[in-house]
Structures are given as structure tokens and as C-alpha cells.
A and B are shown apart, each in its own frame.
Chain A
Amino acid sequence: GENVEQHPSTLSVQEGDSAVIKCTYSDSASNYFPWYKQELGKRPQLIIDIRSNVGEKKDQRIAVTLNKTAKHFSLHITETQPEDSAVYFCAVITGANNLFFGTGTRLTVIP
């Protein structure tokens, strides 16, 4: 299947600072790149997504950038708050229409 790498695996930031999580993928035909937030034992919650024909998308404090040439995309959270603490997963829909997840990042926002 698709190889989706995600970094860092853990990230701690002070409240109010920004957090950046990066993912790379291998299938150049991949066309959809969602980001999910997941609490333990619960379903992933979609927080933002970007499609292959767009380079950047922003929704309030959350933004995602995509570089198709380099095959990487990033999640940016500004003005972080304690409630942003969670595990975040990037995901990729490949050319074969399968959805693969990155390895996850545990974000901790320190009050």
C-alpha cells in the first residue's frame, strides 16, 4: 500500500505558539489529503482537507499546505490552545482510491 510518513511523532508547544506536522507520501497519483484528530478509542474527526488541485487551504487557526511535486503536505495550527492536545493523523487517498493513514503525532499544548 501507500507509504505515508508523518513527523514528528510527538510535539509539545506552549499555549499560543504554532504547531506544524508534516507528512510525505509515495503515490504521485494521490489526490486527496485529509487531516484527522483522534481521541483514544473514538472515531477520527476530520479537521481539514485539501485536494490535489489546491496548494493551500485555511480554516480559522488551522491551515494545510500541499506540495505535489515534492509529495508532502503539512498541517499548521496557530495560536494553539490546550484543547488542541490530541493525536493527529494525516491521510492520503491514492490513485487506487484507498485511504491510508500516517503514523500519527501526539500534540501536547502546555498551558
Chain B
Amino acid sequence: GAVVSQHPSRVICKSGTSVKIECRSLDFQATTMFWYRQFPKQSLMLMATSNEGSKATYEQGVEKDKFLINHASLTLSTLTVTSAHPEDSSFYICSARDGMSHPSGNTIYFGEGSWLTVV
């Protein structure tokens, strides 16, 4: 089946620095990519939706200047956590939508997730 690769799987950074997380669709073109944050024992909270070549659409309460999302190609999206603080420590996971999948183009594949720890 289709694969979405997410890197890094774990990252520790110092408070105030920036961290970039990559999400790649390996064998399909991802017309849409979603970024989620998940705190322990909680659900996946949608942060933003990005379509290739256009600006990401952020959910209410998510700071677009802090969580920079770039979807430069149909196979790559990146999430950059800028000026990270300890409260940004979380599990971040991307998903990609295969717009060409049958029957209605709604097949969604998830990356492996990234554990971010800000110290």
C-alpha cells in the first residue's frame, strides 16, 4: 500500500530554537496533507490543512506564525515549530490524501509521527 514517511521520529531541542518535521508521500501524489498534534491520552487535533502550492489553512487557535507549514510539492510537506517552548512538546503526525485513489479520492495515509521534546 501507499506509504507516508515522516522524519524525524524523535527530536529533542532547546527552548527558543526551531524544529522542522518532514512528511513525504513515497508512491503517490498527495493533493492534501494534514498536520495533527496529539497530547498523551488525547485525540488527534487538526492543526492545519495544506494543499500543494497554496497557503495552509489553520484551525482556530493554532498560530500560523509559530507553526509554519510548507507544501512545496505533491510529495512533501514540512511543519516547522518556531521558537519552541516546553509546552510545544507533543506527538506530531501528518497524513496525506491520495486524490487519485478510488472510488472518491478519500484514501488517507498517515506518517509514523514525530515525538518533539523541548527542554
Contacts and interface: CB of A to CB of B under 8 A. Distances in A.
A43 B60 contact: no
Contacts of B103: 51
A100 B91 CA distance: 17
Interface in B67-112: 91, 93, 95, 97, 103-104, 106, 108, 110-112
Nearest to A51: B104
B44 A101 contact: yes
Contacts of A89: 43-44
Interface in A31-70: 31-32, 34, 40-44, 46, 49, 51
A59 B118 CA distance: 42
A26 interface: no
A40 B110 CA distance: 15
B19 interface: no
Contacts, number: 52
Contacts of A93: 106
B104 A32 contact: yes
A41 B60 contact: no
Interface in A60-111: 89, 93, 97-104
Nearest to A90: B43
Contacts of B110: 43-44
Interface string A1-42: 100000000000000000000000000000110100000111
A32 B106 contact: yes
Given A43-B112, A101-B44, 13 more contacts: A31-B106, A40-B40, A41-B113, A43-B93, A46-B108, A49-B106, A51-B103, A89-B44, A97-B49, A98-B49, A99-B108, A100-B46, A103-B43
Interface of B: 32, 34, 36, 40, 42-46, 49, 57, 59-60, 91, 93, 95, 97, 103-104, 106, 108, 110-113, 115
